[in-house]
Amino acid sequence: MIPVPLLVCVMGGWCAVYLADTLLKLSSTHRIRYESWLASRGLMLSPFHVRWQTTMFNRLFAYCARINPRAQYLWFNSGLAFGVVSMAGSVVLLAKTLQQTLAQMTADDPRRVGGQQALQVVVSIPGVNLPTSQLAYFFMALLLSGVIHELGHAVAALREQVRVNGFGIFVFVVYPGAFVDLFTTHLSIISPTQQLRIFCAGVWHNFVLCVAALAFLFLLPFLLLPAYSTGGGALVTEVVQGSAADGPRGLSVGDIVTGLEDCPVSGVEDWTGCLSRLSHAPQTGYCVPGASLQPIFLFVLAFKRLDGTMDCCSNNSLTDLCFSYMKLQGKNSREREYACMPVRKMVSGTQVCRVDGDCVDGHAAHARVDAGHAHGVCVTPSLENQTRFIRVTHPPNTHMLFVGYPPHLQYAVSLTNFLPRFGFLHLDLPVFLETFCKYVVSLSGALAVVNSVPCFALDGQWMLNALLEATLVTVVTDRQKRELIGFFLLLAGSALLAANVALGLWMVTAR
């Protein structure tokens, strides 16, 4: 569901803007001066849409179009080839995505379809599947992707002797974008191949921006090497208030996590991998002295949970936890027993184990364990099936002890691979660069794919029309027939894109 406060703010803001615009245009006193002010600044207002257009960048576009003509010829021809390939590829990708999304909606296990990760068109809605803390990254990356896209069109048009009337930026509801205004008369008299170079330039530049951001993201550890190091752990940059990781004995901003149980953590990838492994592996055990176990009295309080597991700490203590272990009953028989123990005192700093034999050294290990647990016993937290007890190592502090569903720990903490070498360095600089690059890769790549689709009102419409004029003119000589072929192809592409977006929007809002 879309948050009601966000919807009210957006609708209220646009209604106020449109109402003020309408009143000023109806006013006999202010109408002429107001319309002159809008025109002089290149502003246009309509319901849920505002745009600004200027000619101040025309000289910059002309200068860029004159740089190394031969290299630019090769550059935009490469863009033409990419555009044609991406047009076909986007249709195949969207068809596969639609098929897998439908299969995902009807499958018993929606996470996997046919043994492969299901594709899905993700519609980003602020406040729904886009956190408010990430809105700045989203809008900046979207605006940058749009500007680079239109820059490609403008430079390509000037190279083909098509005049650029102006460049502009718009906001539709809450989404920013950019556009260039080309002189249509010039555009209509050049050859289809020249048109194709202009129309393909946008998606080509989006693809190049996506690759550049991906390369920058890959090289970021080397670029920041003089100021930040990597590989020494995962640095905590944010802890969600009230979460399982918050509190006096939890994690704090600036802590460096180096391990989860016996799984070493040298970076964020290790943190994610360790949590995934601990989620699916059996609960880790811990070596404790046998003399500390007192099962007889406490076993009376044990009861079975609904999932079949046992709980022997029925007082719901925040400091005690129920542990299970194997106790020798006869010469060759063992029986599982339970003990409620102060968890921090018993397991902090102790080694992990799977069986009692892991808790002793030497050849007489089993004999010493069996003799009344004199040396050490492997005890395992008795928890519900999906719940895990995890020790988080973040020196020089004592272990943070977590009891719960491991993914909750992942959502409660934000981390980065970059550790500042000097105290005055800001923790968030690498996070900002890393997050921004990820958004640029995602959004610029998405714009390249979406604009390549042969769909009405997108670049794909003009790319397809120019391609048909360039390739079918000798095969289908009647222009009306070529336009009819183009219309049906555009209709199919529009339906394919609309179906993907509709299903993606439905799945986002339904969750």
Residue corresponding to tokens 């050490």: 376
Q: Are 372 and 466 found together in one domain? A: no
Q: Which residues pair with 147 in a beta bridge?
A: none
Q: Are 163 and 77 found together in one domain? A: yes
Q: What are the respective helix, strand and coil percentages of the chain, to the nearest 5?
A: 50, 20, 30
pLDDT exceeds 60 at position 112: no
Read off the tokens for 460: 């794909």
From 150, 261, 337, 469, the catalytic residue: 150
For residue 341, the model assigns a pLDDT of 83
Read off the tokens for 503: 């299903």
Closest listed residue to residue 166, CA positions, set 67, 52, 65: 52
Q: Are 456 and 368 found together in one domain? A: no
Closest listed residue to residue 347, CA positions, set 436, 390, 287, 424: 287
Q: Are 19 and 110 found together in one domain? A: no
**Catalytic status, residue 150:** yes
- Burial class, 19, CB count within 10 angstroms (exposed 0-12 / middle 13-18 / buried 19+): exposed
- Burial class, 413, CB count within 10 angstroms (exposed 0-12 / middle 13-18 / buried 19+): buried
Q: Is residue 424 one of the residues assigned to a domain?
A: no
Concatenated DSSP letters of 244-300: TT-STTS--TT-EE-EETTEE-SSHHHHHHHHHHHHHSPPPEEEE-GGG--HHHHHT
CA 140 – CA 346 distance, rounded (Å): 50
Closest listed residue to residue 213, CA positions, set 439, 431, 415, 448: 439
| pLDDT tens per residue across span 381-412 | 988 888 999 999 999 988 999 999 999 999 99
| Phi–psi pair at 338, nearest 5 degrees | -130, 150
Q: Are 118 and 190 found together in one domain? A: yes
Q: Are 27 and 130 found together in one domain? A: no
* Structural domain count of the chain: 3
**Cβ–Cβ under 8 Å, residues 220 and 430:** yes
Which secondary-structure segment (H or E) carries 407? Answer: helix 406-412
Amino acid, res. 154? A
Q: Is residue 98 one of the residues assigned to a domain?
A: yes
Q: Are 109 and 209 found together in one domain? A: yes
Q: Is residue 260 one of the residues assigned to a domain?
A: no
Concatenated DSSP letters of 49-112: EEEEEESTTHHHHHHHHHS-HHHHHHHHHHHHHHHHHHHHHHHHHHHHHHHHHHHHHHSSSTTE
**Cβ–Cβ under 8 Å, residues 170 and 178:** yes
CB-CB neighbours of 129 under 10 Å:
14
Listed residues 367, 382, 397: the one ending a domain: 382
Q: Is residue 20 one of the residues assigned to a domain?
A: yes
383-391 CB contacts, 8 Å cutoff, 24+ apart: 383/283, 383/309, 383/322, 384/305, 384/307, 384/309, 385/307, 385/309, 386/279, 388/278, 388/279, 388/283, 389/283, 389/284, 389/321, 389/343, 390/260, 390/261, 390/278, 391/260, 391/261, 391/347, 391/348
Residue 430 confidence class, pLDDT cut points 50, 70, 90: very high
CA 313 – CA 233 distance, rounded (Å): 35
**Cβ–Cβ under 8 Å, residues 337 and 395:** no
**Taking CA 354 as the corner, what is the angle to CA 352 and CA 356, rounded to the nearest 5 degrees?**
95
**Cβ–Cβ under 8 Å, residues 345 and 254:** no
Q: Are 366 and 464 found together in one domain? A: no
| pLDDT tens per residue across span 325-353 | 887 766 666 788 888 888 888 887 788 88
Q: Are 72 and 12 found together in one domain? A: no
For residue 276, the model assigns a pLDDT of 92
Residue 116, domain extent: 59-222+443-510
**pLDDT above 70: percentage of residues in the chain:** 88
Q: Are 21 and 64 found together in one domain? A: no
pLDDT exceeds 90 at position 321: no
Q: Are 199 and 305 found together in one domain? A: no
pLDDT exceeds 80 at position 314: no
For residue 308, the model assigns a pLDDT of 76
Which secondary-structure segment (H or E) carries 424? Answer: none
CB-CB neighbours of 331 under 10 Å:
6
pLDDT exceeds 70 at position 220: yes
For residue 506, the model assigns a pLDDT of 79
Read off the tokens for 23: 């009143």
| Phi–psi pair at 43, nearest 5 degrees | -100, 140
**Taking CA 492 as the corner, what is the angle to CA 491 and CA 495, rounded to the nearest 5 degrees?**
85
pLDDT exceeds 60 at position 366: no
Q: Are 200 and 87 found together in one domain? A: yes
Q: What is the pTM of this model?
A: 0.83
Residue 275 confidence class, pLDDT cut points 50, 70, 90: very high
Q: Is residue 252 one of the residues assigned to a domain?
A: no
Concatenated DSSP letters of 482-497: HHHHHHHHHHHHHHHH
Q: Is residue 314 one of the residues assigned to a domain?
A: yes
Average pLDDT for 134-152 = 94
Range scoring the smallest mean pLDDT among 3-17, 199-213, 437-451: 3-17
pLDDT exceeds 60 at position 370: no
Closest listed residue to residue 432, CA positions, set 251, 216, 282: 216
Helices and strands, counts by H and E, the chain: 15, 22
pLDDT exceeds 90 at position 359: no
CA 464 – CA 485 distance, rounded (Å): 10
For residue 324, the model assigns a pLDDT of 87
